[in-house]
Amino acid sequence: MLLATTAGFADFTSASIIKYNVKRLRPCRDPVVGATDINRVPCGSGYSFPSTHATDHFAMAIFLSLVFGKKWRWIWFGAILWASLICFAQVYVGVHFPLDVICGAIYGSLVGILFAYLFKKIQPAF
């Protein structure tokens, strides 16, 4: 339940608050970069900064790593690799700048830490 809340909070704040206020164009919509950009997928309709995919996946990855890290030590590697591949893919297909995914990953990590902390306060024996 709290994993879904973590992803939902990360998604809402990234897409509806931060992107709305920053309003950075995607690389495929930027007049300078768009001329030389290779579009591998449709561009998308929203803004670019921060990457909401990076925010959501890093929030979930860090949350899962902090909650289950003692029980399953390998989860750190798998979760961070999974979130990092999502970030790489966003840049590779041309819908985000590298800084978009880096900042999204940092913000998502902070959200994941916050919700893992809340989870441990609610479930101290876990």
Is 53 catalytic? The answer is yes
Q: Which of 14, 19, 28, 53 is catalytic?
A: 53
* Residue type present at position 67: V
Q: Return the number of other C-beta atoms located less than 10 Å from residue 61's C-beta.
A: 24
Nearest to 13 by CA among 123, 89, 110: 110
DSSP category for residue 34? G
Q: Which among 19, 26, 57, 96 is annotated as catalytic?
A: 96
Q: Is 57 a catalytic residue?
A: no
Residues marked as catalytic: 53, 96
